[in-house]
Amino acid sequence: MLMNFTKITLVLAGLAGSVLFGNVDDFERSQVGKTPQGWECSKRYAQKWAVELNKEKTSYILSLLKTDAYGSDFNTCYKKMNFLNGNISVKFRANSGEGDQGGGIMWRVQDADNYYVVRFNPLEDNLRVYYVKKANRSMLKGANIHLDGDKWHTLKVLQNGAHYTVYLDGKKRLQGSVRIFPRAGGVGVWTKADALSSFDDLEIIRK
């Protein structure tokens, strides 16, 4: 049965005085065929982001349904919020794409051209962390990983000050430090070029 609500959680951390505020956006209350309320999706390259029922007809998901992007063009859709430190995770599935596939999480989003992003590309069999500044992408870390591109996978990033740690399907894969965007920003999902992908259960825990 579809659950028509957005899950809200309040997590009390083990350290005294440390409180984590989190929520999971499962898109169950979003209007089908529309961009979720409160999200800002790029209108470049005739992109269309929308909520749809998944193939199994068990839950609603956010998908990039079409785009004219190619090469080094990016497809972005994010929530404006004040995320500085904490955890972000999302389920994703690569639906199609000849030049690119897959996608990932964008965070500390200042605007559509300035943010951090971690993504997995099943065409290239790699996981990479980048910063995008003034729409130009620079790689921070990368790892070669093979996964079934037709299945759902889970990405997670932990940010604490300048330090980040990335997990893919529950395994720690990458970590490092970056100080390009020291201020809080938005959180969202991302693909490149013609990669049409779906996302579900975006969990954001801020501390």
Please state whether the predicted TM-score (pTM) of the whole model is above 0.85.
Answer: yes
Average pLDDT, stretch 95-113? 96
Provide the phi-psi class of 42: left if phi over 0, else alpha when psi is between -120 and 50, else beta.
beta
The reported pLDDT for the residue numbered 20 is 56
Is residue 155 within 8 A of residue 191, CB to CB? The reply is no
CATH code for the domain defined by 7-206: 2.60.120.560
Closest to 30 (Cα-Cα) out of 201, 153, 194: 201
The edge-to-edge listing of strands for the beta sheet with 74-83 is: 39-41, 74-83, 185-192, 103-111, 114-121, 126-133, 136-144
Is residue 114 within 8 A of residue 165, CB to CB? The reply is no
Write out the two tokens for 161: 């000050």
Phi, psi of 190 (to 5 degrees): -155, 140
**Whole-number percent of the chain with pLDDT over 70:** 90
Instruction: Render pLDDT for 129-184 as a digit per residue (tens, 0 to 9).
Output: 999 999 999 999 999 999 998 899 999 999 999 999 999 999 999 999 999 999 99
Rounded Cα gap, residues 66 and 63, in angstroms: 9
